[in-house]
């Protein structure tokens, strides 16, 4: 078990900057998720931690030791790959024990560790099989087993669930979380899936265009997104982003064709400024005395809740209502209320969060 520190780590491929200098501290035993759209540099960062790519600058420390010059196998880490990367010609037992054999561990010790991992992951009946004879979920488990038999200081997961179907993905997600609880090993997990990120992370790192947008607990990141990118990336459906303007007195926010919404506290510094107004779909509540009138364009039922796609003025937004039957029909107009504490303001140009 160990801490992981990244200090101004960056990566260039030729002239393109894939990862701008990035610093991050991961505490001992922490589960950190790197999340972002494809091409945001999260996988590159993980591969540099693993030692499969070398950084163009900066320092990577594992357990306080700089590992920049070390081979992957010398870093005392283990990695689970997206396509599992099991050795197709080896049995499950051989897959699990390969790294231990290369380290010249004693036979008895190898057997003990493989047994332990197989027991933990329910792989015992499969030890003699080849990867081709396993289902997707079983392969995933073998890949995790291969990582844990090494009893590493640090686990790296590279989109481990994206090759599984939705049901299995939910199941394995829970298993990974339980595994982390039992082993308590420091973990860095890369995914593009915001649900995985929200549910697994103790702390999440949202990345975009080769840099970190925000670091925080899932609750913090959800409640206080640092930019319109984070706001639009997390949550399903994501936060509604409307073009708006702060009133000349700095007390209200104005969306075209709609009634002004009061800010929870006056913001004189923002007076008259063009902003992006962020509203979570659950922040718009139907209310006969509501201040806004919206037009329903489309209703989607998810069983326990409904998504209402509505027109607000000239713009569009989505409402999430916890109800099983809809009293409204498409084409109806509806009055909604917006709590002033639910407003998020972002700079219209840079997308950075503003006080509201």
- Interface residue list for another protein (CB under 8 A): 47, 50-52, 71-74, 77-79, 81-83, 85-89, 98-99, 102-103, 146
Residues 6+ apart with CB under 8 A from 326: 299, 301, 306, 308
CA distance 334 to 208: 36
Q: Which is nearer to another protein, 66 or 74 (CB)?
A: 74
Q: Which is nearer to another protein, 95 or 276 (CB)?
A: 95
Q: How far is the CB of 51 from another protein (least distance, A)?
A: 8
Q: Which is nearer to another protein, 101 or 314 (CB)?
A: 101
Q: How far is the CB of 122 from another protein (least distance, A)?
A: 22
CA distance 222 to 355: 16
Q: How far is the CB of 47 from another protein (least distance, A)?
A: 8
Using DSSP, state whether 144 is helix, strand or coil: helix
CA distance 114 to 108: 10
Q: Which is nearer to another protein, 146 or 169 (CB)?
A: 146
Which of 241, 260, 237 is closest to 306 using CA atoms?
A: 237
Cβ neighbour number for residue 49 with a 10 Å cutoff: 27
* Both tokens assigned to 194: 């915001």
Which is it for strands 154-158 and 186-191: parallel, antiparallel or unpaired? parallel
Please identify which residue in the block is written with the tokens 């686990």.
Answer: 155
In sequence order, what are the beta bridge partners of 65? Answer: 62
Q: How far is the CB of 346 from another protein (least distance, A)?
A: 38
Q: Which is nearer to another protein, 99 or 183 (CB)?
A: 99
Q: How far is the CB of 156 from another protein (least distance, A)?
A: 9
Q: Which is nearer to another protein, 42 or 47 (CB)?
A: 47
Q: How far is the CB of 79 from another protein (least distance, A)?
A: 5
Using DSSP, state whether 194 is helix, strand or coil: helix
Q: How far is the CB of 98 from another protein (least distance, A)?
A: 5
In sequence order, what are the beta bridge partners of 135? Answer: none
For CA atoms 155, 183, 32, 192, the dihedral sign is positive
Q: Which is nearer to another protein, 14 or 303 (CB)?
A: 14
């Amino acid at each position: 078990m160990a801490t992981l520190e990244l200090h101004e780590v960056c990566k260039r491929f030729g002239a393109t900057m894939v990862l701008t200098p990035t610093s991050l501290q991961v505490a001992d035993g922490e589960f950190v998720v790197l999340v972002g759209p494809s091409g945001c540099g999260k996988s590159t960062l993980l591969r540099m931690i693993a030692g499969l790519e070398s950084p163009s600058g900066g320092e990577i420390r594992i357990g306080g030791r700089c590992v920049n010059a070390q081979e992957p196998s010398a870093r005392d880490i283990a990695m689970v790959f997206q396509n599992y990367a099991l050795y197709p010609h080896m049995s499950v037992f051989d897959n699990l024990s390969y790294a231990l054999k290369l380290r010249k561990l004693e036979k008895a010790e190898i057997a003990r560790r493989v047994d332990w991992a197989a027991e933990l992951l329910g792989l015992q009946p499969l030890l003699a099989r080849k990867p081709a004879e396993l289902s997707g979920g079983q392969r995933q488990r073998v890949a995790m087993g291969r990582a844990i038999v090494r009893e590493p200081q640090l686990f790296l997961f590279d989109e481990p669930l994206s090759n599984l179907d939705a049901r299995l993905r939910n199941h394995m997600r829970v298993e990974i979380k339980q595994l982390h609880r039992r082993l308590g090993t420091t973990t860095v997990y890369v995914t593009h899936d915001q649900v995985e990120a929200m549910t697994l992370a103790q702390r999440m790192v949202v990345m975009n265009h080769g840099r970190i947008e925000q670091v925080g607990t899932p609750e913090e990141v959800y409640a206080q997104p640092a930019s319109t990118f984070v706001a639009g990336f997390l949550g399903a459906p994501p936060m509604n982003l409307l073009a708006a303007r702060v009133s000349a007195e700095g007390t209200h926010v104005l969306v075209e064709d709609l009634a002004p919404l009061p800010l929870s506290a006056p913001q004189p510094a923002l007076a008259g400024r063009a902003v992006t107004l962020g509203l979570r779909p659950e922040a718009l509540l139907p209310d006969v005395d509501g201040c806004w009138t919206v037009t329903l364009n489309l209703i989607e039922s998810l069983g326990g809740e409904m998504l209402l796609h509505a027109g607000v003025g000239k713009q569009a937004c989505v409402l999430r209502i916890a109800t099983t039957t809809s009293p409204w029909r498409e084409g109806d107009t509806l009055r909604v209320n917006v709590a002033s504490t639910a407003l998020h303001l972002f700079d219209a140009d840079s997308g950075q969060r503003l006080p509201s």
